[in-house]
Amino acid sequence: MIEFYTLGTSSAVPTDKRNLSSNFLNFQGNKMLFDCGEGTQRSLMVHNLGLMNIDNIFISHWHADHFSGLLGLVQTMGMEGRERPLFIYGPKRTEEFTKKLLELGYYNRNYDIFAEDLEPGNIVEFENFQVKAVETKHRVKSLGYVFEEEDQKKVSRKKMEELGLKPCKEIGMLKEGKEVEIEGKKYRPEQLVSEVKGRKIVYTGDTEFSEKIVKESKDADLLVHDSTFTEELRKDGRYGHSSALQAAKVAKKAGVKKLVLTHFSRRFTNSTRELVEEASNIFDNVVAAEDGQKFEIKPHRP
C-alpha cells in the first residue's frame, strides 16, 4: 500500500484550518516529503507519521509557503538525535538556499544534510522506485514531481484459479522466468505471469495549466494539482497558478484515476465546494484535499 497525506493545503498564508503546502508519502517504509511549508512537523506529529524517518525532501520551489517549515524540522531532527543523513532536492538554487537556511540561528546538528539542484527530466533513483523532476509554469524556477514504482512481474490470481492452482513455491519461480512442474503438469511463465505497470503519483507544486504536466501525468493513479482558485478568478489576471477547471482538464487529458485539488486561496478556507463543482464538470473522480487527509493506492494486479 502507498500512503499519501496532504499535510498542508493552503496557499501563500496559513489559515486557522489549513497549514501551508506539504505532502507526505510512505512507500514500503520509504518516507518522504513533497514541500515543507509552515506547520509541517506538527502535522507529522499529529498524524503519527514519524518525522525522524524522513530521509528525502523534494521542494517544488523557493517561495516561503513551500519551504518555511524546513528549518524547524531540521532542528527538531537534530534535537532528537538524528544521525543518518537527510537529502533535500529542488530546482536551481536549492543547494544555495539550503546552505543559507542552515546557517540561521544557534543549534547543534550531528547529521549531514545534502542538497541537490535538479533540472526538469532529472531522476532520483531508489531501490524499487524513482522520483522524476518535471517542468511547471510558475513565476519562479519550479518543479513538479512524479513518483513512479518500477514495473513488476506478477502472477495472475484469476489465471491460477482457472488452472486450478494454489499458491506454492513453484508459482514464485514462474516470475523468475522458469518453467515449473506442479502435480505432474508443466507450466510456462507466459501462462500465468504478466508485467504490471508500477503505481504513479504526480505532485505539481505551483503551476498554470501545462501540456508538459499532462504528458507526465499520463495514467497516474493520483494527480495532486494546484487549484488555487476558480476559473473566473484566474481570468481576472492571476498568473502562476491553476484554477480547479484547469486541474480537471489536465486530469482528463492525462487519463488519471483520481484528482486531488490542493493549494487553496484563503477565500476557500471554509468551503471548497465551488472548486470541486467546477472540476467535476469535466472530471468525475475529484476531491478537495483537507489537511491530514490520507490517500491509499493499492498494488496493481494483472
Q: Would you please indicate which residues are annotated as catalytic (active-site) residues?
A: 65
**Which one-letter amino acid corresponds to residue 128?**
N
Return the C-alpha cell found at 23: 505532502
Contact 24, 35 (CB under 8 A): no
DSSP E strands in the chain: the ranges are: 2-8, 22-27, 30-36, 54-58, 86-90, 113-117, 123-125, 129-135, 143-149, 152-155, 180-182, 185-187, 193-196, 200-203, 222-226, 259-262, 286-288, 293-297
User: Is 206 in contact with 185 (CB distance < 8 Å)?
Assistant: no
Contact between 59 and 90 (Cβ < 8 Å): yes
Q: How many distinct helices (H) and strands (E) make up the chain?
A: 11, 18
